[in-house]
Amino acid sequence: MDEQGRIYLPKELREKMKERVFMVKEEKGTFVFEPVDIAQEGRGIFKAKEPIDNIDEKIEQYTRELVKDELH
């Protein structure tokens, strides 16, 4: 873990996982990484006058950009 609390995962683990966003919790002294469906997490937080095409994709893209900015 670096000074900013970031955890680096070995390349082999990163390549096995399709998910890129996780919730981390501690269980009995061990860190557990649980994938987060960021598109699902965003449901219900927006109100639109008209239906928005591909809203799940847009939410996921927006959230990934936010997370990317936070990590850099």
**Closest listed residue to residue 46, CA positions, set 37, 33, 59, 34:** 59
Exposure on the CB side of residue 13, measured as CA atoms within 13 A = 6
Whether residue 65 lies inside any domain: the answer is yes
Mean pLDDT, the chain, rounded, equals 80
Whether residue 50 lies inside any domain: the answer is yes
What does the pLDDT read at residue 40? 63
Helix H or strand E segment including 7:
none
Whether residue 33 lies inside any domain: the answer is yes
What does the pLDDT read at residue 5? 84
Residue 41's domain comprises 11-71
- What total of structural domains would you count in the chain? 1
CA 58 to chain centre: 14
Q: Give residue 60's identity as a one-letter amino acid code.
A: E
Query: Is residue 32 a contact partner of residue 23, using CB atoms and an 8 Å limit?
Result: no
Whether residue 15 lies inside any domain: the answer is yes
Task: Kindly report, residue by residue over 31-55, the tens digit of the pLDDT.
Answer: 898 888 776 666 666 666 677 777 8
What pTM does this model have?
0.41
